[in-house]
Structure 1
Amino acid sequence: MIDAPGIAFQVLQSVFVVLAAPLLMGWANQCRAWLQNRSAPSILLPYYTLAKLFHKDVVIARNASALFRVTPYVVFGCMWLAAGIVPVLATDLPFAPAADIIALVGVFALARVFSALAAMDIGTAFGGLGARREMLIGFLAEPAMLMILFTAAFISGSTQLNTIVETLAYREFAIYPSLAFAAVAFLMVLLAENARIPIDNPTTHLELTMIHEAMILEYSARHLALIEWAVAIKLFAYMSIGIALFLPWGIAEAGNWGALPLAFAALAAKLALAGAGLALLETL
């Protein structure tokens, strides 16, 4: 039997993730400006930037292959898929079985490989430099991410993220020292995977110190907009994974649609605190 309400809510959650991701990025940038005693940009600035880029004409190098053209769509799709299947508002949604922690890390890895290949496709020095650095970070961060997720999987007895969340949120409260160490490691992985300070600086203009930005120097217009949007979705996805693993309380149980308003409010509060905390870490 088709679970029409569940599918509808799954689609609604996926759309919410895509639309809210730039808002989270704008909130983090605004908090960082406040902490640095600067005039803060509008929290809606990422939306204005995306709209401006989508209205520009694409400029592509003559020697660019089809890989270079298709990569922004692949990266955006991977990030949307990863963020859409993570249980952020409710558990046991129709696509919950797809949220296997190993597959989730694989989706992020697929986007990284496409980005690195596209950066080297044009043949520019900075693209190759950024691609090599990005792959090095992935080589170090992906095994750490798997170990973090396996820590939670051992507690719940499953690699399904949905089961892990239900176990940690609704089982009798217990203190797991291993999760405390995993949370510290996850914070380091989040900073590395999302090109945040001190691993990378997303606002830098120095080519020799760029990692992620060096890979997208040749992109423009809608292609650049999709990549920037994917970056925001990836940050949202990683914060959602962190919330699901270490602060799962407040998420609605399966079938309890009446708890969704509370789950939405809890998620908004957690993301606001996470964005402010990220800005604080980057300012210290």
Structure 2
Amino acid sequence: MYRAAKFIGGILFLSRLRARNIADSHSQKVKEVSKLVGILGGMGPMASQLFYKMVTDMTDAGCDQEHVNLLLYSDSSMPDRTAAILKGDYENVQAQLLADAQILERSGCQAIGITCNTAHFFADRIKDEIGIPIIHMIQETAQQVAEEAREQKVALLATDGTIRTRLYQDRLEQAGVVPVILPEDMQKMVMYQIYERIKNGKPCDEEKWAVLDEFIREAGCKRAILACTELSVIREELALDDFYVDPLRVLACEVIEFSGKKLKLC
């Protein structure tokens, strides 16, 4: 009886050891192909929250270990990017963005994504001062739009700062797309939705959004780019259709692919 019990115990021990070795081997394989991506967020916080949800929802994962390894640094103290651009006062934002990027680099990140369209103006100015690539949300979006709307009109819904710096216009034009900038009254509506509604913790003003939507479609635009991550929040809130291109979603796709994980859809 003792020998039988000892024999059975040995089998159980070996089975557990083998299961643990298999699990460790699987974990090691996952680790080998996975890259750590740093996300510089907090601009604004709701957009960063939405981005993490997008990455999680869009990753084809059957267990925790098959999800993307992300290091999210939410720096909500970052000065307003549009205000800095309009004033021509770049130094503070640029210095803080660089310091944040260096924190992510020192933490072992192999690339950085930035969940703010306007911040890419400053990212372009610091990219040579860090040793890891920036996954460029605007460049990737422009390329995607060009595949769907070459030689056609595409509306640009963005902050005044993003429009002033031509972050999208230049890239779209180079790709053969015709960017459409909204007239002043429509642009004020966009800024209202960004600053007075979403950044202020309030829902989208649906009546004003309907006016914008009607204007853009009647202008003959093939697509409209939600070129501010607060507008990405509105896309989720109103369940907007595919007429609207969401750069935050584009960034999520690129981050998943860079990390070595599998995409569900994009």
TM-score in terms of structure 2 length: 0.32
Relative contact order higher in (CA < 8 Å, ≥ 6 apart): 1
Please state which structure has a larger fraction of its residues in strand. Answer: 2
